[in-house]
Structure 1
Amino acid sequence: MNHPLEREYHDREWGNPVHDDTILFEFLTLEGAQAGLSWLTVLKKREGYRAAFLQYDIAALAQLDDSAIDGIIAQYDVVKHRGKIASVFSNARAALQLQQEFGSLDSALWQFVGGEPMVNHWTQQHQVPASTEQSKAMSRFLKKRGFKFVGETICYAFMQATGMVNDHLVDCPCR
């Protein structure tokens, strides 16, 4: 993490438990957008994402469809992948369904760690897995409910980002 954006993100956000549905949806969106790219690329576009996707207002995003894609590509600094952009709208509709079914997106997603952060005790970065049984289960669950760009690796990165899993190394000051 040499870039200041990465350092600030790591030190202030990554691994801190998130229970706000809007922020959880933001991270689902950003982790999906990151697929195949560097996290720094997505961090640099984060404000563009917030503007393009209505500050992650799930109900408002659920009303949008593919007809909004060209405008978003033209006006905002986001990853210009039509499928990733379209997934935000369909994922918002799926998130609304989860909110109705579980009472919140928070309840639906945190169930995969029993409602409490899983704290790992890694001493070296290479020990940190790319996916786990929990992220595989979350991925299956989300895909079954219509979410896109939620593979097991994306789900694990999401779990790390939102503090469902604490993967700060044992000697990390942020632990």
Structure 2
Amino acid sequence: MTWRLSFSTLIGLAALAVLACGPSGDPATRGGVIAPAVERPEELAGLLDLPPLVSEVVFPWSEVIVSRQSGDIALGVLVANTADRRSRGMMYWSGLPSNSGMIFIWEQTRERSGGFWNRNVPIDLSVAWLARDGTILEFTTLYAEDDTTKRPQQPYFFVLEIPHGRFEQMGIALGDRVLIPETLLPN
């Protein structure tokens, strides 16, 4: 069998490759969607309330799957995978759409023990501290505008934050696993 590709087919394939990689080819530096491709909710834009002179930090959007005893559930997530994104976190977000949150991923996969706070975050958050395989180790509540640093009792690898009370509403419990796409994980 002989394969012949027209010029327009080759151009189409090249364009598809560029779209898949984004402008820089590096998921950590772009603000679009990171595979698996899920649509970024339009209402996100209305939930960020930046004060004057505070610049926006753009977060990519992706999806994680939470494997629960009652069945899997998909969560849309803002991806905090750079120092700037992790430092900003949920600051100035007045809420998030249902079934969504923010996942914190570091450039190097290793145990961590640092804490989180809710400075400049106008909503209460529930924090899930995750093991290397995504197993939920602990939950912590961060209260709106509270500078108190909260740490888990044991080392963690990743963190998932969602508006307070939603883990319970979705039936997500200790020992459930957050399945993070390999495309989000460091090499």
Whether TM exceeds 0.5 here: the answer is no
- Tell which has more relative contact order, 1 or 2 (C-alpha 8 A, sep 6+): 1
TM-score, length basis structure 1: 0.23
Q: Which has the higher helix share?
A: 1
Q: Which has the higher strand share?
A: 2
